[in-house]
Structure 1
């Protein structure tokens, strides 16, 4: 059954994902970073710990490098900028 009056066909217009939605890591390129971050979050009982934030930054950097998400400035993600000496 169709909820479409008169069974008229309508064009389907897909929309891009909302910010924060990104492709799955099917090949496990960033799996190690993700597991370290999740282990850290479990240890600190999901508190906002600085060491976990650094692991989150590594994970997001990996996702950006493997084009699993768009490149975003660290300040827009609420994370500290890289040191100028260690920047690639």
Structure 2
């Protein structure tokens, strides 16, 4: 898992397992309240020319990795939401 100090248009976290990755984005509602969303799970691969590409299709053996990443993303979003809530109470 990689946490970053996000700049505009950068995710607040990226979760990886092998070739699979999910990004977590921080947004603000119309009333200024923060909320989080995730990108679709993506898989990296090399094409015939040797260039890296990304796809959302998975092989059967990658389904458990995807399940694990979605669970980690859920936990990370909950952690970020809690930190935002506590910061708003200060």
Interval containing the TM-score (normalised by the shorter chain): 0.3 to 0.5
Which structure ranks higher in relative contact order (CA pairs < 8 Å, sequence separation ≥ 6)? Answer: 1
TM-score (norm 2): 0.33
Structure with more strand by fraction: 2
- Computing the radius of gyration over CA atoms, which structure comes out larger, 1 or 2? 1
Give TM-score scaled by structure 1 length.
0.33
Q: Higher helix proportion, which one?
A: 1
